[in-house]
Chains A and B, each alone.
Chain A
Amino acid sequence: MEFIIQRDSLINTIATVSKAVSSRTTIPVLTGIKLVASTEGIILTGSDSDISIEEFIPVEKEGEVIIDLIEPGSIVLPSRYFGEIIRKLPGDQVKIKTNDHLTITITAGKSEFNLNGMDAADYPRLPQIEENRVLSLPSDLLKTMIRQTAFAVATTETRPILTGIMWKLMDSELTFVATDSHRLTMREAVVESPDHLTFENVVIPGKSLVELSKILLDDSRLVDIVITDNQILVKIDHILFYSRVLDGTFPDTSRIIPKNGKTLMNLNTKEFLGAIERASLLAREGKNNVVNLVTRDDNSVEVYSVTPEVGKVIEEVNPVSLEGEPLRIAFNAKYMIDALRAVDSEIIEISFTGAMSPFIIRPSDYNKILHLILPVRTNQ
């Protein structure tokens, strides 16, 4: 393998793929970055076995020659040293050349490095892409969907399957569901996909998706997603992002969503969020962040929280509309705050089914998002 490359583009690519490289790994070859050179360009791969990021640098981009390719080949280089060396080298161009016995020589300007590498044959194989199982959606939509669901995944490992977000595709509608068994978030979106393509119970670790959203751009360029048996692949321009899939069955959440609300209210999101945040200032000290919500006879809503050792807070909120049975309910303020922050609409609609049943929060103008929160049982 031998090539000369523009240093800038190599630095950027190393920065992208090394996001996936972890120093804490039991598999020695994963401490490295894989380099594969072919006549079209070079591919860099980083992986911690949970996620893998692959980026392609073409020989020529927008008329500018990036790589002067001399000879194809492959090697795995220790990511820490390789990244640091390329960053610190002088000049605009770097020459990389493999010698015998898995070592390479990096030359730039007057400086020359010899670095020991590992055999690229030892590197894990990433799944092959099947072109007929591709679904596409805009980058910014995917990013929003992740932001609106990832906060609800379980943080404890007691039920590993709940640390992931469940993906489902039916009739070209992609659904994300995340739950930690106290609250649930669901986000739907229409995507481009072939008619025959449906899947469900594909559970992707929340952590991987948070990493993915760091790479996703804030524009409406389409990204392609491919689901395979063991991994999913997200294709963003020249970057391929792979994540392993969690093993197991995600709980069936369709039945726990109540159909008919007994108390319905529409609230101004910002105002209500402010009230809950203030009420949780005192509640935070107590267990469960408990905040209470009571409907009054004069069609207003009272939010209050009492922690005997600290004090109490009462705040009146005027809903846009309120109908149905009177209600007294308590819930974890943190869950409510998370849900309200994830909703981008001005007005939200909350539908309660009694003090002991879960309640639903949705944007009033948009039915693609649903948050469900379980109430807290109190002695009052």
Chain B
Amino acid sequence: MWEDCVEQKQLSHMLQQSLKNDRIAHAYLFAGPKGSGKRKMALQLAKGIFCREKEGDSCDQCENCRRIASGNHPDVHFIEPEGTRIKISQVRDLQKEFSYRGMESFHKVYIMNQGDKMTTEAANRLLKFLEEPPPGAMAILLTEQINSILPTILSRCQILHFSPLSPKHITDQLVQMGIRPGLARVAAIVSAGIEEAEAYCQTESFAQVRGLVIQLSEDIVERGTYSLITLHDRILKRDSFNEELNLFLDLLLLWLRDLLFYLLGQESQISNMDQMETIQKQAKRWGQRRLVDGMEKIMETQKRLSGNTNVQLCLEDLVLRLQEGS
């Protein structure tokens, strides 16, 4: 139901109204970061068109709603990247499919996930199809990177921008699911969207990485160069550290920010609320100036790592620089 699209209240209201007034566009582009509810909204729009019980809304009970949700509705087509790209043959198959009348009704909808992953050939083939759609057809393209979509495609779609969810919103949802508030809040800030945050909270490694971040921060201020050994023995040796690298830096940045909030007396802003004691202990040792410099260095390191740099050297460099302040 449209009320369920809580992530994007404004957009869902707008789409609901256009459905009610029969002013649905023939092509939509939903652009927004991961987890901002694009797919949910696309399915909702399809349900709104096909639902048998409610005009312009979905009941989520009838066979059409249920089949759309399970991907089995014969007149709602999903296109996902095959491998890394959406290939021209997929667009060709789609066009072939749309040269037929609908299986059960007059309407036909296709939902293309990660529309930015189309090859140039595929995108160009889709152009004419978007511009002169067969009667009754509607396109919904989803993308996280609107900038990599050809301008010729953009100009043929009605673009809806999905704003990222506010961390507070995600935290509330996670807490409702029974996750501890401290962990939930940290996960909400470093993740993009509710699903990722939930996944974080359910894996052990997330809590482990957070523990290591706090440990490293303590070692940097308390034990000097010993922190390099912590980095080597406990962090770099982790089996899946390559995947955790970005998370590690994000958490480190967040930790230093919390320490700074504490020093500035803005305790309500602190994310790692379950670690207040440790924060009190560490914050004084770091000092304001050092924290600000430290955060700058972390961001610099993140930037370097996005290029082709050696992870170990970069992190060692970071740890040494973080110590320099003392």
Contact = CB atoms under 8 A, between A and B. Distances in A.
Contacts of A157: 92, 95-96, 99
Interface in A152-201: 157, 160-161, 163
Nearest to B104: A125
B135 interface: yes
Nearest to A248: B99
Given A28-B71, A247-B134, A124 B103 contact: yes
Given A26-B77, A121-B63, A157-B92, A244 B100 contact: yes
A160 B104 contact: no
Contact of B70 (A50, A122, A125, A161): A122
Given A121-B63, A122-B66, A157-B95, A27 B101 contact: no
A359 B95 CA distance: 34
A153 B318 CA distance: 69
B257 to A, nearest CB: 45
Interface residues of B, number: 26
Interface in B75-104: 77-79, 92, 95-104
Interface in B190-214: none
B72 interface: yes
Given A122-B70, A230-B104, A247-B134, A26 B78 contact: yes
A293 B66 CA distance: 63
A144 B171 CA distance: 69
B74 interface: yes
A205 interface: yes
A239 interface: no
Contacts of B66: 121-122
Contacts of A248: 99, 134
B67 interface: yes
B99 A124 contact: no
Nearest to A205: B100
A245 B100 contact: yes
Contacts of A353: none
B78 A244 contact: no
A6 interface: no
Given A28-B72, A157-B92, A157-B96, A124 B101 contact: no
A156 to B, nearest CB: 11
A21 interface: no
A246 B134 CA distance: 11
A128 B66 CA distance: 21
Nearest to B90: A26
Interface in B35-69: 63, 66-67
Nearest to A118: B72
Given A121-B63, A157-B92, A230-B104, A247 B99 contact: yes
B95 A29 contact: no
Contacts of A123: 72
A124 B102 CA distance: 11
A64 interface: no
Contacts of B78: 26
A26 B97 CA distance: 11
A244 to B, nearest CB: 4
A229 interface: yes
A244 B99 CA distance: 10
Q: In this complex, which of A28, A29, A30, A122 has the most chain B Cβ atoms within 10 angstroms of its Cβ? A: A122
A25 B92 CA distance: 14
Contacts of B106: 229
A345 interface: no
A245 B105 CA distance: 12
B101 A244 contact: yes
A127 to B, nearest CB: 8
A231 B66 CA distance: 23
Interface string B257-277: 000000000000000000000
B97 to A, nearest CB: 8
A122 B68 CA distance: 9
A205 B78 CA distance: 23
A49 interface: yes
Q: Rank and list the top 10 A-B pairs by shortest CB-CB distance, nearest first.
A: A160-B99, A122-B72, A124-B74, A29-B72, A230-B101, A244-B100, A247-B101, A245-B101, A49-B74, A122-B67
Given A27-B72, A244-B101, A247-B98, 16 more contacts: A28-B71, A49-B74, A50-B100, A121-B63, A121-B67, A124-B74, A124-B103, A125-B63, A157-B95, A157-B99, A161-B99, A163-B99, A230-B102, A244-B100, A246-B100, A248-B99
Interface of A: 26-30, 49-50, 121-125, 157, 160-161, 163, 205, 229-231, 244-248
24 contacts: A26-B78, A26-B79, A27-B71, A28-B70, A28-B71, A29-B72, A49-B103, A121-B67, A122-B72, A124-B103, A124-B104, A125-B104, A157-B92, A157-B96, A160-B99, A229-B106, A230-B102, A230-B103, A230-B105, A231-B103, A244-B100, A245-B100, A246-B100, A246-B101
